[in-house]
Amino acid sequence: MKTLVIVSHPYPEQSSVIKTLQQVAASVPGVTVRNLESLYGHDTEAFDLAAEQKAHEGVDRVVYLFPIHWFNLTPMLKAYLNKVWSYGWAFGPGGDALRHKEMLVVVSAGASEYTYSSQGLVQSTMDEVLTPMKASALYVGMRYLQPLAFHEAMGASLETLQGFGEAFAARLAGSQ
């Protein structure tokens, strides 16, 4: 299975989890990694639309790897979806470039899994927080896979990071 991993982190120098997961992805055969901030800095207008759309050609699965940023996508990833998923390419007449591809969302969160529960502080599960990604995938005809969330990511130990990496590698190796 060919996989495209789109990585975004607004503060890449502070991210041991996303860096680790990006390195894991890059080591898996059949996986191409594109880090938005490495390619474009923080300029939400700088995307090379032709290159980004071409990167999706021939892949079976697209993985979006990012930290939950104020219970949402990162600014670069939101801008990426706004620009790259254009009318006529991702949806609309002739817009079927993403149809039948799988979408896997992989996120890190500083807070605990309990915080992301109906009883927790935000009274929302991670699945509920990621509803816009699910809706977007379904709207363009993608198959939305169960997300992979790594909680308590801030200050994670090396052992915890290794566990995150192993879980991510297992998901990349499988079709679910």
Q: Which tokens belong to 156?
A: 């994670």
CATH number at residue 155: 3.40.50.360
| pLDDT score recorded for residue 170 | 94
Q: Residue 169: which H helix or E strand, with range?
A: helix 158-173
Residue 176 clears pLDDT 70, i.e. is over it = no
Beta bridge partners of 147: none
118 to each of 28, 93, 110, how far by Cα in Å? 35, 40, 17
Lowest mean pLDDT among 8-12, 105-109, 164-168: 8-12
Distance of CA 141 to the CA centre of its chain: 17
Its domain, for residue 85, covers 3-173
Q: At residue 165, does pLDDT exceed 70?
A: yes
- With both helix axes pointing from N to C terminus, report the angle between 16-26 and 158-173 in degrees, rounded to the nearest 10: 40
Give the number of domains in the chain: 1
The whole-model pTM stands at: 0.95
